[in-house]
Chain A
Amino acid sequence: MCEQCGCQSPQPGGKAAEKNPKTMLLEVNRRLLAANDKQAAANRRLAEEKLGAVVINLISSPGGGKTTLLAATIDRLAGRRKIGVLEGDIETERDAERLRAHGIPVVALTTGGACHLDAPLVNRGLQQLAAKEDRLDLVFIENVGNLVCPATFDLGEHYRVVLLSVPEGSDKPAKYPRAFLTSQVFLVSKTDLLPHFDFSLDEVRQDALGINPDLKILPLAAKDGVGLDAWLAWLETLFP
């Protein structure tokens, strides 16, 4: 034990450092998620080269409305854009089944307990999509419902979209800043419930822009189709 501070390190310049065993200090300066990030970059290339697809990572709390938004988006783009979905869930294929009913290829990514998707898991999903389809315009990755953990993992998406539903409260961007910091689009969902909740669109807008001034903010109610046009218009900007 070190006699200077009581830590368990060998004492600097002490016997342990000089004789047997020998220690060395490496300056590494490497990202902790270097392996994940490398896989994410490969995923982006795979989506571009094999499928010609733009990949969107959709993040929200459980029950935020990701699957409902996807179902509405798929229906509105039917016949115009080819869509594939990687459906992340901790357990069950319920959401995957729900989206398959809309006539698109869906690969279920069941994490079996993990609170987020990571790039290696998404790679397996993309490979399965590429085995089924020659070409897709859009691949949506529906992340595991969680506003915290998914924000740390690059999956190989081109764009990240964060979704926050009205019942969750307008204080969430300030409380969970990373999801908003790392996204390009922020969808306020279930706006049809605004009359019933103490939710301030102004506050949520101001807080979100305070964290990320480049964030595009779109309020919508996917169930009624309100606000979907602006969302679909943004999706169209992704295609030259």
Chain B
Amino acid sequence: MHELSLAQSLVEQLLVLAAEQRATRVVRIRVRIEPLAGVVTDSFSFGFEAVKTISAVTRDAILELDCPPASYRCLACGRLSEHPLPPEIPCPGCGAKNRQLPTGGDQLLLLQVELEEQETDNGKTEPQPREVNSHV
């Protein structure tokens, strides 16, 4: 269940980002989990839902996942195809078995973050302390 550690580092990263941008709330984030990253997406989402509650800044953040499928290159014919693991599925091009190398990425990336900042009546941004629940 290393997904919980990953969710934890994500929330820490979000808190730093929010502080840098003087934002009071993380509204929405987009995370890419590539097929060979070795991450169970459901566990990761579950972990994020649990960990995000540590701060009012991240408490209401919505997690969107971007999970591209694995691609495989056949060593026998060179064909690139997309299908899930395991690799012993025969190549749809030439039928060769056990000759396909996973070529999908193994990256875990924080792609996009939507932040919210409070504005005062005169239009200027006023940084809020983290404890404040800006949602109220």
Number of interface residues of A (CB under 8 A): 44
On chain A, the residues within 8 Å of B82 by CB distance are: none
Q: Mark B51-73, 1 if CB is under 8 A from A, else 0.
A: 00000000010100000000000
Number of interface residues of B (CB under 8 A): 48
Any chain A CB within 8 A of the CB of B94? no
Q: Name the residue of chain B whose CB is nearest to the CB of A181.
A: B36
On chain A, the residues within 8 Å of B28 by CB distance are: 9
Q: For chain B, residues 87 to 136, give those with C-beta under 8 angstroms from any C-beta of chain A.
A: 87-88, 98-102, 106-119, 125, 134
Given contacts A32-B13, A34-B13, A151-B38, contact A24 B1 (CB under 8 A): no
Any chain A CB within 8 A of the CB of B77? no
On chain B, the residues within 8 Å of A118 by CB distance are: 5
> Do the beta carbons of B87 and A148 come within 8 Å of each other?
no
> Do the beta carbons of A21 and B134 come within 8 Å of each other?
yes
> Do the beta carbons of A33 and B119 come within 8 Å of each other?
no
Any chain A CB within 8 A of the CB of B83? no
Any chain B CB within 8 A of the CB of A35? yes
> Do the beta carbons of B2 and A148 come within 8 Å of each other?
yes
> Do the beta carbons of A32 and B38 come within 8 Å of each other?
no
CB < 8 Å neighbour of A9 from B12, B62, B85, B98: B62
Shortest distance between the CB of B114 and any CB in chain A (Å): 5
Shortest distance between the CB of A179 and any CB in chain B (Å): 8
Any chain B CB within 8 A of the CB of A225? no
On chain B, the residues within 8 Å of A174 by CB distance are: 85-88
CB < 8 Å neighbour of B37 from A8, A10, A178: A178
Any chain B CB within 8 A of the CB of A4? no
Any chain B CB within 8 A of the CB of A211? yes
Q: How far is the CA of A116 from the CA of B2 in the complex (A)?
A: 7
Q: How far is the CA of A178 from the CA of B105 in the complex (A)?
A: 11
Q: For chain A, residues 24 to 61, give those with C-beta under 8 angstroms from any C-beta of chain B.
A: 24-36
Q: For chain B, residues 1 to 58, give those with C-beta under 8 angstroms from any C-beta of chain A.
A: 1-2, 5-6, 9-10, 12-13, 17, 21, 23-25, 27-28, 31, 36-39
CB < 8 Å neighbour of A210 from B2, B37, B98, B107: B98
Given contacts A9-B27, A23-B27, A24-B114, contact A30 B109 (CB under 8 A): yes
Q: How far is the CA of A7 from the CA of B61 in the complex (A)?
A: 12
Q: Name the residue of chain A whose CB is nearest to the CB of B108.
A: A32
Q: How far is the CA of A25 from the CA of B38 in the complex (A)?
A: 28
Any chain B CB within 8 A of the CB of A115? yes
> Do the beta carbons of A177 and B9 come within 8 Å of each other?
no
> Do the beta carbons of B87 and A207 come within 8 Å of each other?
yes
Shortest distance between the CB of B72 and any CB in chain A (Å): 9
Any chain B CB within 8 A of the CB of A237? no
Q: How far is the CA of A175 from the CA of B88 in the complex (A)?
A: 11
Shortest distance between the CB of B67 and any CB in chain A (Å): 14
Given contacts A23-B114, A115-B2, contact A178 B36 (CB under 8 A): yes
Shortest distance between the CB of B27 and any CB in chain A (Å): 6
Given contacts A22-B117, A174-B87, contact A152 B17 (CB under 8 A): no
On chain A, the residues within 8 Å of B86 by CB distance are: 174-175, 177, 207
Using CB atoms and an 8 Å cutoff, list the residues of chain A in contact with chain B: 7-10, 19-36, 114-116, 118, 148-153, 174-175, 177-179, 181-182, 206-207, 210-211, 213
